[in-house]
A and B are shown apart, each in its own frame.
Chain A
Amino acid sequence: MPRLKSAADLEKLRQEILSRINGKRIISVTNGTDGRTRGSKEVVQALIQEIESQGLKEKVQLRSTGCHGFCETEPAALIFPEEICYVGLKPEDVPEIVSETLSEGKVIERLLYQYPATGQNIAKESEIPFYQPQSRIVLGNNRFVDMESIEDYIALGGYSALAKVLSEMSSEEVIDIVRGSNLRGRGGAGFTAGVKWDTTHNAPGDEKYVIVNADEGDPGAYMDRSLLEGNPHSVLEGLIIGAYAIGSHQGYVYVRQEYPLAVENVSIALKQMREYGLVGENILGSGFDFNITVHRGAGAFVSGESSALMASIEGRVGEPRPKYIRTAVSGIREKPSNLNNVETWANVPLILNKGDDWFSKIGTEGSKGTKIFSLVGKVNNTGLVEVPMGMTLREIIYKIGGGIPGGKKFKAVQTGGPSGGVIPESLLDLHVDFDELSRAGSMMGSGGMIVMDEDTCMVDVAKYFVDFLCFESCGKCIPCREGLYQMRVILNRICQGEGMEVDIELLTVLGEMMRECSLCALGQTASNPVLSSIKYFRDEYEAHIAEKRCPACVCKPLTTYYIDPEKCMACMICLRSCPVEAISGGKGEMHVINQEKCTKCGTCFEMCPDRFSAVVKISGREAPAPLKTPAG
């Protein structure tokens, strides 16, 4: 491939690619990390062979794509132009897909998504209730591009924003548009990107850096991974536009090493960009030089903080520093450095192409555009959802997520990861944007949305996050290091039934002190999970402390397992599966748990057939004494 030397070259190439795929049927198979867990690699392999053996190579284009969003249904395939969507694919399904759908355009009913509420089969992806309320302007492109193909991205209009910027616009004009769009950082804090860019642009010095933050450390969030895996060029195009606007000639992509496929796909994308002249010297003949280096993180949550991340790029320990002088002015090697999150960068080419007016029409007054959330936990439809800012939590969880599985009751939704908080049912009509979530005591964070049902203990959840942060705190400042440790001690004793009356107040005081006094955002927000759960679920804390009762029967020391003699059918299933042989009884003889031996592993509870549901969890009182063995 000869280097592209101008915007006209790029357009010419685009037309050429379009004419090559014109009239072809296209099949996009999800083959990201989620898909691969469920055997998508084998499906793709089978498709390659089958398309070849059925002689359709000239008529069909196969795309191995990143996640389309509805992770649950993967491996899934989307067939264009009909937009037929198949879900839960296996290699055995492939010959029929090729002979019926790819060759004839016929729909195979059994492979369609079946809507559980009506039992109806849905053929088109856009009509699936999970996707219907979404506006997938950023993540949606995953389904149109092969993860490893720069040509697919160019065919979609990729790099046209970059070409426009380099050939027609000054750096000030680019910053004005980004500022005008009011794009706010998707990594958590929600700082206005245009203002940050302007600061770095105006900071003195010739050496400046731009960085993609893909250190997605929030447990329960994976939208950045999916974007970077599925459509790396969209992020990198945004980065180059930012570099031009700011006046930087060196960029970094900081990715967690836990995301090997993202690292691989970004590296492939960079190699292609070098060949096409889209990165390196004299990009698109404009005279602008820019290089990008991939830096893998080595596993430290705190390194997602901007100053810590920059220290890590320099090969140092990833600890934050006080930010009296912002990293936008003094970052990597004390040079002005602009850092934005993956999703923020991916929005940039769209804004440049479609204009700031278009972008600022989406969303709410203070938060523009869309946001990608990972909707996970106790919800029927799990996956990545992209919605306009301002959609209510209820719409997201019930309309898109399909509600809570197993007829259970909704309890709370956790947003913002370890820095965020829990939101109770009474606030489900809250419009999700940066400001509303903060007002509720949580935060947007990077977009994790973990749904919890009645079987979730809120004290246990708070303890979970504090445990996590205790381990991840870098230990540099005392409020965070010691505050978390003390919180952990208190939460542990509450969960063990040894809580004291004063503990709730103690947790509140500690939490507020950490918010005021910690060095970086990790410590300042670390108490959010605790404080928000006290605010909304104080009764659960009180039950643990005063009644030694865990209302959700999660905390092991406060829970006992018991076999209801009225329901037990003496089927031997739990008895055989108990790992410590704590269940006595026999065929036709009532089963009884020996509480002395029981380790509370929950196996019997899981194994007891649903139609009996004889094993129950009890908290706050002793298990009833076993009945005398009935005569006969």
Chain B
Amino acid sequence: MKHSEQDLSTIDKIIDDYGGNRDALIQMLLGAQAEYRWLSNPVLTRLSKRLAIPLSYIYNVTTFYKHFSLLPKGRHSVSVCLGTACHVRGAARLLDRVTDSLGIGPGQTTPDEKFTLNTVNCLGCCALGPAMVVDETYHSKPSAKELEQIFAACE
């Protein structure tokens, strides 16, 4: 979706849900990130105007927290856990495999906007490591073959 095409009524609704309360800025941004998959300039400008917060302040917040993306994200998010427990169980090798398989590195999106690859510091399922989550499904120690199947199942 292009910048200009992003429907601003969604962000308006999110702002209304929080009663336009400035303290809830991060919660609104999380809502927007979930709806739009990324935070475009028009969306942030709208927030700035309606909450009467400088746009620079909003950019300060969005660039500080890892969860926010200022670039378009793919339809499917792939997150490889690099937590300590996963690290000692070979998370780096899993990441290599995923990188090979998708042809992109962490933080990147495939040219067809299908996948975005990210690394996370801990998914909190340390008994399953090395772990990976695709959209909302967790995968434990996927083999190269299983990876292919997992990615092929994404539309």
Q: Tell me the chain B residues, 23-56 only, with Cβ under 8 Å from chain A.
A: 23-27, 29-30
Shortest Cβ distance from B81 into A: residue: A219
Contact of A37 (CB < 8 Å), options: B61, B82, B140: B140
Residues of B contacting A452 with CB < 8 Å?
A: 88
CB atoms of B66 and A300 under 8 A apart: yes
CB atoms of A315 and B67 under 8 A apart: no
A298 in contact with B138 given A315-B61, A464-B87 (CB within 8 Å): no
Residues of B contacting A319 with CB < 8 Å?
A: 64
Interface flags for B100-124 (1: CB within 8 Å of A; 0: not) read: 1000000000000000000011111
Q: How many residues of B contact A (CB 8 A)?
A: 42
Binds A, one of B9-17, B70-78, B127-135, B146-154: B127-135
> Bound complex: CA of A72 vs CA of B132, how far in Å?
16
CB atoms of A217 and B93 under 8 A apart: no
Interface flags for A409-450 (1: CB within 8 Å of B; 0: not) read: 000001001000000000000000000000000000000101
> Bound complex: CA of A450 vs CA of B82, how far in Å?
14
Residues of B contacting A33 with CB < 8 Å?
A: 123-125, 138
> Bound complex: CA of A474 vs CA of B61, how far in Å?
12
CB atoms of B127 and A382 under 8 A apart: yes
Binds B, one of A77-85, A185-193, A254-262, A510-518: A254-262
Task: Let me know if A535 is at the binding interface, CB within 8 A.
Answer: no
CB atoms of A296 and B140 under 8 A apart: no
Interface flags for A291-317 (1: CB within 8 Å of B; 0: not) read: 000011111110000000000111111
> Bound complex: CA of A225 vs CA of B86, how far in Å?
17
> Bound complex: CA of A579 vs CA of B65, how far in Å?
36
Contact of A220 (CB < 8 Å), options: B61, B67, B84, B128: B84
> Bound complex: CA of A474 vs CA of B89, how far in Å?
28
A377 in contact with B23 given A33-B125, A259-B124 (CB within 8 Å): no
Minimum distance in angstroms from B103 CB to a CB of chain A: 13
Task: Let me know if A383 is at the binding interface, CB within 8 A.
Answer: yes
Interface flags for B57-70 (1: CB within 8 Å of A; 0: not) read: 00011001111100
Minimum distance in angstroms from B104 CB to a CB of chain A: 17
> Bound complex: CA of A374 vs CA of B129, how far in Å?
13
A315 in contact with B26 given A37-B131, A219-B84 (CB within 8 Å): yes
Minimum distance in angstroms from B100 CB to a CB of chain A: 7
> Bound complex: CA of A376 vs CA of B82, how far in Å?
14
CB atoms of B61 and A219 under 8 A apart: no
Shortest Cβ distance from B140 into A: residue: A37
Residues of A contacting B96 with CB < 8 Å?
A: 601
Task: Let me know if A216 is at the binding interface, CB within 8 A.
Answer: yes
Most buried by B among A296, A299, A314: A299
Query: What is the interface of chain B, defined by CB distance below 8 A to chain A?
Result: 22-27, 29-30, 60-61, 64-68, 82-90, 93, 96, 100, 120-129, 131, 136, 138-140
14 A-B pairs with CB atoms under 8 Å apart are A33-B124, A33-B125, A33-B138, A36-B138, A222-B122, A298-B26, A298-B68, A301-B121, A315-B25, A315-B61, A316-B61, A450-B88, A452-B88, A461-B88
The 8 closest A-B pairs by CB, nearest first: A219-B83, A298-B65, A299-B66, A71-B127, A222-B124, A315-B25, A220-B84, A219-B122
Q: A37-B128, A317-B60, A465-B84 are in contact. List 8 more A-B contacts (CB 8 A).
A: A37-B131, A217-B122, A219-B87, A221-B124, A257-B30, A299-B67, A312-B26, A316-B61
